[in-house]
Amino acid sequence: MKIAVAGGTGVVGTHTVAAVRENGHEAIVLARSTGVDVLTGAGLDAALQGVDAVIDVTSTGTQSRKAAVRFFGNATRNLLAAENRAGIGHHVALSIVGAATIDAGYYAGKAAQERVLMALAGGWSILRATQFHEFAQQMATMLRVAGLQLSPVMRCQPVAAAAVGAALAEIAAGEPRGLDHDLAGPHEEQMTRMVKAYLAARGDKRHVFGLTMPGAFGKGIRNGAILPGPDARLDSLTFDDWLAAQTA
Ligand SMILES: NC(=O)c1ccc[n+]([C@@H]2O[C@H](COP(=O)([O-])OP(=O)(O)OC[C@H]3O[C@@H](n4cnc5c(N)ncnc54)[C@H](OP(=O)(O)O)[C@@H]3O)[C@@H](O)[C@H]2O)c1
């Protein structure tokens, strides 16, 4: 099969592309750095020639509800229109556990993305995953302010991006599933502890201050709304084992 991965250069995208190839399929990477823009549509039609399924793992750095809804809504609609023109019958999207319920900030964009797909008669799969183990690294970089290290106060059950990429590659090679089971890691964590452990593994012993995020977004990530459902598939790799492997 020929499988296109939109966002195939990103954190989970690189693992997804690797998994598609490991499974013996051809992977096409759609990203601005490869000449394809899912917002303007530039390069999209040419890149989707002969493709059998599309996995969407694009993302934006915004926390603004309006900008996130615009990004994920437009990206999804543009991809679906191009898939239609190319006769592609399977669109796989990666969403986030709890995002549709919280429906605020960045998560409002994921909720909008899910709604666009769920309104279709078929031909789509949505995998909701929890935060990646790699999210601790993303937070350590994004939330360093004037030498102080912050981390959102967040209950989560993180999973390795590699496990998410493998699951997406498997889904894309099969029939559309609609809304799939949640995918999560083995147990609950606190993001503040993860960021502290991530820094400590690099010899940085600084204190990590918990940041209580405002509004519905902050409340949701504090109160367990982004923890997986009871029928979730759980990968076995813990954050600490993932971290030890990164720094070995
Ligand atoms: N991070 C987490 O913990 C987590 C957990 C669960 C689900 N997710 C979901 O996983 C997805 C990927 O997240 P990530 O952290 O792996 O993202 P990321 O590392 O920021 O990568 C984003 C990717 O999107 C591409 N992209 C951005 N704008 C684009 C555009 N206009 N046209 C084409 N490509 C574009 C980027 O490539 P270029 O810059 O070259 O265009 C890059 O390949 C997101 O949908 C996110 O909601 C994330």
Atom of ligand 1 nearest to the CA of 32: 41
Ligand 1 atom 10 nearest Cα: 57
CA distance 248 to 245: 5
User: Tens place of pLDDT for every residue, the chain, 248 residues?
Assistant: 999 999 999 999 999 999 999 999 999 999 999 999 999 999 999 999 999 999 999 999 999 999 999 999 999 999 999 999 999 999 999 999 999 999 999 999 999 999 999 999 999 999 999 999 999 999 999 999 999 999 999 999 999 999 999 999 999 999 999 999 999 999 999 999 999 999 999 999 999 999 999 999 999 999 999 999 999 999 999 999 999 999 88
Domain ranges of the chain: 2-247
pLDDT of residue 68: 98
Ligand 1 atom 37 nearest Cα: 31
Quickly name the fold that domain 2-247 has.
Answer: Rossmann fold (3.40.50)
Reference 164, options 3, 11, 9, 7; nearest CA is 11
pLDDT of residue 248: 83
Find out whether 158 and 133 touch, Cβ atoms under 8 Å.
Answer: yes
* Pocket (CB within 6 angstroms of ligand 1): 6-7, 9-13, 30-33, 36-39, 57-59, 94, 96, 110, 129, 131-132, 135
| Residue 64 three-state SS | coil
Distance 223 CA to ligand 1 centre (A): 26
Burial category of 100 from C-beta neighbours within 10 Å (exposed 0-12, middle 13-18, buried 19 and up)? buried
C-alpha pair distances (Å), 201 with each of 150, 153, 173, 193: 17, 21, 37, 12
- Ligand 1 pocket test, candidate residues 28, 36, 44, 59, most atoms within 8 A of CB: 59
Ligand 1 atom 11 nearest Cα: 57
**∠ CA 194-110-99 to the nearest 5 degrees?**
55
CA distance 17 to 26: 9
Only one residue has tokens 């986030």, namely: 96
Atom of ligand 1 nearest to the CA of 39: 31
Distance 28 CA to ligand 1 centre (A): 16
Distance 10 CA to ligand 1 centre (A): 5
DSSP string, 27-53: EEEESGGGT--TTT-TTHHHHTTT--E
